[in-house]
Chains A and B, each alone.
Chain A
């Protein structure tokens, strides 16, 4: 059974940093693209970033370029999202997702809430 468990969310001040983690199990982590997708309170889904199997390719939505960094450790079956220079508009539930061969999520974690507020 595929399981994705996020951690690391919390309350942070504007301009602060946070690192999200996602522990994956139930599938061969090193053979799949992975993504982070977020959902602001009461809003829809927004793809944030994705990373290739070996970490050699990474892509980001424009609004987080230069501030967020996606990474992975295939030896630990883990996905990460380093978030710097956080803004109020980054407040959201952040989901870790396994991507299928079309590049779209097929399994999602339960999400971790990030709140950016003073």
Chain B
């Protein structure tokens, strides 16, 4: 059972906007920044969003992140078939001295 809570699945059609939620607590999301990762089938995770809403170089601006209190969300606009992947949220946890992850959300592009 993961420390951060994400919906197990999400879906959308090409061109649509989808959001994925991530819920935590005061020891993680409530007091630290959130990162999001994309994991394509059979590959290592890739950083998508850091510091709640910042995109690394090369990540399309279709991906955006936000945080409020002990929750965060990832939004993907203009959905494309290549966005079909697993998405994970993460945040530093003050009680663990390490990051905690969500259980992952499998995004299906219909």
Interface on A for B, CB 8 Å cutoff? Answer: 35, 37, 44-47, 49-50, 59-61, 95, 100, 102-111
* Pairwise interchain contact A59-B101, C-beta atoms closer than 8 A: no
A58 CA / B98 CA spacing, docked (Å): 10
B44 at interface by CB-CB < 8 Å: yes
* Pairwise interchain contact B44-A95, C-beta atoms closer than 8 A: yes
A61 CA / B50 CA spacing, docked (Å): 22
B102 at interface by CB-CB < 8 Å: yes
Besides A45-B90, A111-B44, 12 other A-B contacts (C-beta < 8 A): A44-B103, A45-B37, A45-B104, A50-B97, A61-B96, A100-B35, A102-B35, A102-B50, A102-B92, A103-B32, A105-B35, A105-B99
Interface on B for A, CB 8 Å cutoff? Answer: 2, 32-33, 35, 37, 43-47, 50-51, 56, 88, 90-92, 96-104
When A and B form their complex, which 6 residue pairs have the shortest distance between CB atoms, in order from nearest?
A59-B97, A108-B44, A103-B92, A44-B104, A45-B101, A104-B35
* Pairwise interchain contact B51-A108, C-beta atoms closer than 8 A: no
A35 CA / B96 CA spacing, docked (Å): 13
* Pairwise interchain contact B47-A106, C-beta atoms closer than 8 A: yes
A100 CA / B35 CA spacing, docked (Å): 10
B96 to chain A, nearest CB (A): 7
A94 to chain B, nearest CB (A): 11
* Pairwise interchain contact B46-A108, C-beta atoms closer than 8 A: yes
Residues of A within 8 A of B90 (CB): 45, 104-105
A110 CA / B39 CA spacing, docked (Å): 11
The one of A35, A37, A47, A104 in contact with B50, judged by C-beta atoms closer than 8 angstroms, is A104
